Chains A and B, each alone.
Chain A
Amino acid sequence: MTTLTVEGLSVHYGGVRAAHDVSFTVEPGQSLGIIGANGAGKTSTLKAVMGLAPRRATTIRFGEHDLLRAPAHTLVRHGIGYVPEGRHVFPGLSVEKNLLLGAYTSSWKHTPIEEVYELFPVLREMRHRLAGALSGGQQQMLAVGRALMCRPQVMLLDEPSMGLSPILVAEIAGVLKRLNADGLAILLVEQNAKLTFDVTTTCLVMENGQIAATGVSADLRNDPEVRRIYLGL
């Protein structure tokens, strides 16, 4: 089992600072959340870990693998699944092709596609449809399913609740909890603090590109300040 370690991570787009000196670790089987308002630097942080945003950092490691030097397309081979913000399924390809591409780096003869179909039965029904023709919720399931196809040890999710109805958000939350209980480590970035507290055990709060607070999710849920800002209570 492997730990994801991020130390001193900064993200700059041109002259604009999106994240500054962010550090955290995701232990094997742990579930860590990052909450914060729009523009707090959550997505940039996640993209930078994946090597998809311009970054500077002291350390980004996954176990023995130095991700700081690894090209972005090699991360999936180490067992890092990524569910991008806005789902980003391949719209012109079938649901099944989308899932298979999640297992691009391994043999297509032995993929966990059956497990994914069991987790999301609707994807099995829709497997010959074009991904672009699915509803937002189905696309989100497809994006999660695609990330599971590489048999990840840790999964990085960016705003999986975006644009979904409360029922679907609850369904996604249920799936994430189940996956986590089965040993998958989860790094969940969300504006939806309620979902994040529900799924994760530890949580970071980001403000203006920096980590403003860290705590146990259950404690944060009851923190009056956090409740006021992020839950609107």
Chain B
Amino acid sequence: MQVFLQTLIGGVTFGAVYALVAMGFSIVYRTMGLVNFAHGSVVMIGAYAASTFYLATQLPFAVAIIVAITVTGLIGLIIERFLRPLENKDFTLMLIGTIGFGAVLEAGAVLIWGATGHAVPSPVATGPIDLAGIRIPTYNLVVIAVAAAATGLLALFLQRTKRGAAMQAVAMDHQAATAVGIHVGRSNAMAFAIGAGLAALAGSLIGPMLYVNPTMGGTLGIKGFAAAMLGGFGSMPGAIVGGLAFGLLDAFAAGNFQEYSELVTFLVFAVIVMIRPTGIFGEATVNRA
């Protein structure tokens, strides 16, 4: 029972991070119909930006996260600006463009920070909380709380603000959105910036739990992508549920199958997606036909 609950909390923590990554994939996919293959690398840049700033300045970790979000948000804007001329012209080139940007970011990280990576000390000094015999690391709770708060803010933005409504409108109908006066390119740029910001948040939060290195983007990108597919690609609630589900799957597989855990995780994932290809909350998004 104790082991079960401990695994559960670990799963939810990583699941919350996967959910952030998945939401980043989904918000770009919703608005542009595009899978941003550079997303994992942006997560990695976010992890590096936050940890480097944190280690160098000793300022609170929250400040480091904000710096990381700003840096990657800018990277998101740059990627969108480069891809914009291809919008509605060559979709395949856009996809390849995002893969290219991923490679550039990874190479850039190696140039700046070296190929070996660095460990990040836990930003929360207090020891684990003891709750009825279960030891919960305080940092895990921080991660879950921050991810939940970010999700709430994003939902508020999309549902309660004019810009948020406009972004949703663009996701549903480019032409009608243009006709009511929405600048589709600007809306896409915002989707990219928000997606990159979510990636940075995920990267900075997971940094102290993992080893920050240039290839971490690949693993996190794949897991976030899988989480988004599990929930239904393009659906925001799906990204959250998919992220948590994938985190739990990952944690329990790691607990029971040790070195085969990744194999088991992705095998289960593959079976679920074969049974339900649209994911849990599968919905129709931008049609690119």
Residue positions of A touching B, CB distance < 8 A: 50, 52, 71-77, 82, 84, 88-93, 97, 100-102, 104-105, 108, 146, 150
* Distance A150 CA – B180 CA, assembled complex (angstroms): 8
Q: Is B107 an interface residue (CB 8 A)?
A: no
Cβ-neighbour of A77 out of B172, B173, B181 (below 8 A):
B181
Contact A89 B176, beta carbon cutoff 8 Å: yes
B172 and A108 within 8 A (CB): no
- B276 is an interface residue with CB less than 8 A from chain A: no
CB distance from B108 to the nearest CB of A (A): 34
Question: With A52-B178, A72-B179, A108-B162 in contact, do A101 and B169 touch (Cβ < 8 Å)?
Answer: yes
A102 touches B165 (CB 8 A): no
Give the shortest distance, in Å, between B165 (CB) and chain A (any CB): 5
**Given A88-B173, A88-B175, are A146 and B168 neighbors across the interface (CB < 8 Å)?**
no
Q: Are A104 and B182 in contact (CB under 8 A)?
A: yes
Interface string of B156-194 (1 = CB under 8 A from A): 000000100110110011011111111110000000000
A88 contact from B165, B166, B176, B183, Cβ within 8 A: B176
A90 near B179: Cβ-Cβ < 8 Å: no
Q: How far is the CA of A93 from the CA of B168 in the complex (A)?
A: 8
Output the least CB separation between A16 and chain B (Å).
Answer: 18
Q: Tell me, rounded to whole Å, the shortest Cβ–Cβ distance linking B80 to chain A.
A: 17
* CB closest chain-B residue, reference A77: B181
B172–A104 contact, CB under 8 A?
no
Q: How far is the CA of A84 from the CA of B168 in the complex (A)?
A: 19
Q: Note all chain B residues with C-beta closer than 8 A to A52.
A: 175, 178-179
Q: Which 9 A-B pairs have the closest CB atoms?
A: A105-B181, A76-B181, A88-B176, A82-B179, A90-B172, A104-B181, A72-B178, A90-B169, A73-B178
Instruction: Write out the residue numbers on chain B whose beta carbons fall within 8 Å of the beta carbon of A92.
Output: 168, 172, 283
Question: A15 vs B172: C-alpha distance in the bound complex, in angstroms?
Answer: 29
B186: nearest chain-A partner, CB-CB: A73
Apart from A73-B178, A73-B184: 14 A-B pairs, beta carbons within 8 A: A71-B183, A72-B178, A73-B182, A76-B181, A89-B173, A90-B169, A90-B172, A92-B172, A92-B283, A93-B165, A101-B177, A104-B166, A105-B180, A108-B162
Q: Given A52-B175, A88-B173, decide whether A104 and B180 contact each other with a Cβ distance below 8 A.
A: yes
User: Cβ of A91: which chain B residues have Cβ within 8 Å of it?
Assistant: 172
Report how far A108 CA is from B180 CA in the complex, Å: 14
For chain B, the bracket of interface size reads 10 to 19
What is the predominant secondary structure among interface residues of chain B facing chain A? helix
Write the chain A residue with the least CB distance to B184.
A73
Residue of B nearest to A131 (CB): B172
**In contact, A93 and B169 (Cβ under 8 angstroms):** yes
Residue in A74, A89, A93, A97 whose CB lies within 8 Å of B181: A74
B180 touches A76 (CB 8 A): yes
The reply to whether A102 and B180 form a contact with Cβ atoms under 8 Å apart is: yes
Could you list 12 A-B pairs, sorted by A, with CB under 8 Å? A73-B184, A74-B181, A82-B179, A84-B179, A88-B173, A89-B173, A90-B172, A90-B173, A92-B283, A104-B162, A104-B182, A108-B162
Q: Find out whether the CB atom of A84 lies under 8 angstroms from the CB atom of B176.
A: yes
Please report which residues of chain B, range 178-212, place their CB below 8 angstroms from some CB of chain A when the two chains form the complex: 178-184
A146-B180 CB under 8 A given contacts A88-B173, A101-B166: yes
Closest chain B residue to A143, Cβ basis: B176
| A50, B182: Cα distance in complex, Å | 13
Smallest CB separation, A147 vs chain B (Å): 8
- Compute how far the CA of A50 lies from the CA of B283 in the bound complex, rounded to whole angstroms: 30
CA distance A82 to B165 in the complex (A): 19
Chain B contacts for A50, CB-based, 8 A: 179
Residues in B whose Cβ lies below 8 Å from that of A88: 173, 175-176
In the docked arrangement, what's the CA distance between A76 and B175, Å? 13
Least Cβ distance of B272 to chain A in Å?
A: 25
When distances are taken between beta carbons in the complex, the residues of chain A under 8 Å from B283 are: 92
Contacts of A77 in B (CB 8 A): 181
* Chain B residues positioned under 8 Å from A97 (CB to CB): 165
- B187, closest chain A residue (CB): A73
Interface centre among A90, A93, A105 (most CB of B within 10 A): A90
Q: B162: which A residues are within 8 A, CB to CB?
A: 100, 104, 108
Give the residues from 238 to 289 in chain B that come closer than 8 angstroms, CB to CB, to chain A: 283
